[in-house]
Structure 1
Amino acid sequence: MRATPIASAIWLWASPEAATAIATRDLPTILRTYRRLNGLSQIGLAELLGYDKSYVSMIETGRRAISDIATRRHIATRLAIPAHVLGVTGTDDAEYQAMLQFGDSTVRLADIARQAGHAVEAVNELWPLVARLEARAAEGHFERDSLILLAQARVALGVSLGTVLPEERLASAARWTGQAVNVAARLDDPRFYAHTLRMHGNELRKAGQLESATTHLHQSLELSSEPPNQGASLAFLARASGELGDRTQFDAALAAYRNLLERNTGSGLLFQPFTLREIYLRGLLRTGRAEEAGRIVHTTIGTPAAPQWHIIERVTAGEVLAHNHEPDAAEDAFRQAIRAGEQHRLPHQIQRIIRATTNTGMRELAAEAVAALQRLRGLLGHRTA
């Protein structure tokens, strides 16, 4: 099933170059950067905006200044740019107050959408809130309620980006969750601070910064008191330890996770039997125990709490099966993951499949995964340099 093309704000947050351009609030700079990051010619941008190429050229070169509010609002809408960046609204207007009032609901609904397999939609819901809060903070407004909401929104945006960005851009997601940690450290709220450390640690892991990831996850575990939160920290810590190849730390984290789960009812995405099994399989593989992983890969424990966890598990199972010389079963698991990964727009899971199938000589399947990744890049506005 092919995903439907979307109008996405992901380009805005996925590149430091985009953030720099937005910070200038200079329309010509923003237009040129948008074209470059999205691979558009001036003709393509003109078609997107509904203008002539010559008109777009004059705006980009500064020969035509746009002072009309309706035109600036139109450009902001078409390019998924926060309207206030182009001077259309101020941060103290009624729109901002309403956004602040319902900000908690926006973050919660975005998290629900991400967990239900709609991370792109979550990004598109979060970016106006984050952009407005960032602008207010930049102007020197540091009310506690606004800062708490800003940290919550930064975490939610970073995690959503970490779900939909390809591997080469996952550092962008970690930057957003890292900024949330910086705010949470000043709020005297240990539970929330633990949450930001936990989510940032996982985004660091996904971006390949494994030592830093384990440091943040240990801190999160020390600050966590409720079993679901402790379990979530242990889940991420076990995964990061496995990817480091640290057998001792992986085994300790997994044993603590299992013991905690045996004493408490599982809940959420991370603290439940299905997640435990997936982390166990992947950790065994990463710490040189593929045969042991092969002995349990055919067992089923629990059900996934969200669509992406089924995909993650299918990729892990495919890797284990391939390492244990079960090509037919591995191919079936990978094909399930490719179809669902494309449907739910999870490029880095498909990138895992490409590596695994390439390393094991499954060339036809690797080609299918590459084609799926290319389609996703087109849908999400991801361009390779």
Structure 2
Amino acid sequence: MTRHAQKDEISGPPAEEGAANRGECTDVSVNGSKLDAWPPPAQLPECVPWYTRQGNEVLCSGDLGAILRYYRTFHQLSQAQLSELINVDRTSISRLETQDRHLESITDRIRLGDQLGIPYAVLGIGGVRQQDHMDMIACGESVVRLSLIAREEGRAVDALRELDRLVRALEERAQSGKAAREDMVLLATARAEVGVALGDLLPEAHLDAAVQWTGSGARVISYLDGELGLSAHTLSMYGNELRKAGDLVCAVKALQHAIEISPDLGGHATANLLLARAASENGNVAMFDQCIGQCRQALEQDPSISNFFINPFSLREVELRGLLLTARRGDAERVASRSIAMGAPPPAWGVMERVTMAQFYLATGETDTAAAELRTAILDAQVFRLPHQVERAVRLAEGANLDDLVLAGTEAVKAMSNSLGVDGD
């Protein structure tokens, strides 16, 4: 199992790599048709005044005087310092702020927009590029929603296809200094979704890419004030990918922070469920029990909060696996016998449940039943491209001396890795 390098702190996600230091890319292909390479997230400018709620409101007002005053306040600049920054005399700044002077020249407006990162549309400069951007924002939420549906249906590669153009366009806009708050909110969401999709597709040896992408989504949203729901969600996704990559210390910290800031019951329950997983893997029985109790209480209080991550199937699977990891077989038998009064689970949870049931059967000495579960889980994981679950199955098979399943699982991981252009060994 690969272990991700432990982070020094968790006050924020890891710093993003610059475009010039992107390193190796991960190629994703399906049926011989390759998607574009997925490099690490691009480095983006920080401390942008227009990302804050107040800055966004000032920007949307179109009042150039108010915009200049807010820019100076945000960066703690005097009129003289701002005049030096944009290469005009101080009197011009004063007159612009009091609206005694207006920028009539398009050239002057473009220069001001470039120097202060003001979107051209605010300065009255339109054109085809601006319309393209407006169209992208208008459909961006739909793109993210479609990618999420694709991933939850076991089509993570399709999810990446949906997100590819959107993420690249938003990163380019942010790098140019013309991104507004709505761009960054959308980028944070899309980056987190890219990371979760990569976390489904990549074998354990390459899960750092998923950590990096979910972390970059959490980092973007940390620039923005007042987006607690999205911040909690991205931190939850980041923490879960850290857990899968083996960095349990930072995973726990990220998930605890997500619980602290989550403004709604569903987000709170989702973070608790993922923290329960990390706690059980870390052997923290008290934390695991507390988180499971919180999840059960949330679902009983409001069943409508069910989503891909928090639902009756996921609660049973996480609880069963955690009880097995914390050596409580009697409690595990009780949970394993619990029926779920709803339809079939999402594909990924169905595979996870099979592997976990195999783990349960091995613990109770039912090796033949466990082998049957593992065999089906390996086949299903190949269909839905879930190498991490195959690697779980292989470890269980190794412990039970099920050599044929070890071989089948190992070959399955290699095949899936080769189709992604990564090393599966």
Q: Report the CA distance shift for 1:332/1:202 in structure 2 as closer, same or farther (over 3 A).
A: same
2:278 and 2:362 map into 1 onto residues whose CA distance is 22
**Partner residue in 2 for 1:112:** 149
1:227 and 1:305 map into 2 onto residues whose CA distance is 21
Kept in 2: contact 1:162–1:203 (CA 8 A): yes
1:86-105 correspondence to structure 2 within 5 Å: 92=129, 95-105=132-142
**Partner residue in 1 for 2:276:** 238
Q: CA deviation at 1:147?
A: 0.8
2:418 and 2:363 map into 1 onto residues whose CA distance is 32
Count of equivalent residues? 309
2:150 and 2:36 map into 1 onto residues whose CA distance is 16
Among 206, 214, 219, the alignment partner of 1:182 is: 219
- Residue 317 (structure 1) aligned with residue 357 (structure 2): yes
1:311 and 1:379 map into 2 onto residues whose CA distance is 20
* Residue type at the aligned position of 2:369: A
- Write 1 or 2 for the structure with the bigger share of helix: 1
Per-residue CA deviation, residues 30-56 of structure 1 (Å, 9 max, x unaligned), is: xxxxxxxxxxxxxxxxxxxxxxxxxxx
Q: CA deviation at 1:11?
A: 4.2
1:360 and 1:245 map into 2 onto residues whose CA distance is 22
**Partner residue in 2 for 1:162:** 199
* Residue type at the aligned position of 1:378: N
Per-residue CA deviation, residues 245-301 of structure 1 (Å, 9 max, x unaligned), is: 111111111111112222221511232221111001111122222454245424432
Q: CA deviation at 1:316?
A: 0.9
* Residue type at the aligned position of 1:334: L
Among 207, 213, 224, the alignment partner of 2:251 is: 213
1:141 and 1:123 map into 2 onto residues whose CA distance is 25
**Partner residue in 2 for 1:31:** none
Kept in 1: contact 2:228–2:263 (CA 8 A): no
- Residue 380 (structure 1) aligned with residue 420 (structure 2): yes
2:201 and 2:186 map into 1 onto residues whose CA distance is 23
1:253-292 correspondence to structure 2 within 5 Å: 253-266=291-304, 267-292=306-331
Q: Report the CA distance shift for 1:304/1:199 in structure 2 as closer, same or farther (over 3 A).
A: farther
1:329 and 1:141 map into 2 onto residues whose CA distance is 59
Is the partner of 1:268 in helix, strand or coil? coil
Is the partner of 2:361 in helix, strand or coil? helix
Unaligned runs of 5+ in 1: 21-90
1:121 and 1:217 map into 2 onto residues whose CA distance is 28
Larger Rg: 2
2:205 and 2:130 map into 1 onto residues whose CA distance is 38
Per-residue CA deviation, residues 300-322 of structure 1 (Å, 9 max, x unaligned), is: 32444411110011111111211
Among 186, 190, 202, the alignment partner of 2:240 is: 202
2:234 and 2:346 map into 1 onto residues whose CA distance is 21
2:242 and 2:36 map into 1 onto residues whose CA distance is 19
1:4 and 1:170 map into 2 onto residues whose CA distance is 19
2:245 and 2:183 map into 1 onto residues whose CA distance is 29
Q: CA deviation at 1:237?
A: 0.8
* Residue type at the aligned position of 1:293: A
1:197 and 1:101 map into 2 onto residues whose CA distance is 25
Q: Report the CA distance shift for 1:344/1:168 in structure 2 as closer, same or farther (over 3 A).
A: same
Deviates further, 351-360 or 97-106: 97-106
1:10 and 1:117 map into 2 onto residues whose CA distance is 20
**Partner residue in 1 for 2:86:** none
Kept in 1: contact 2:358–2:374 (CA 8 A): yes
**Partner residue in 1 for 2:167:** 130
Deviates further, 99-108 or 335-344: 99-108
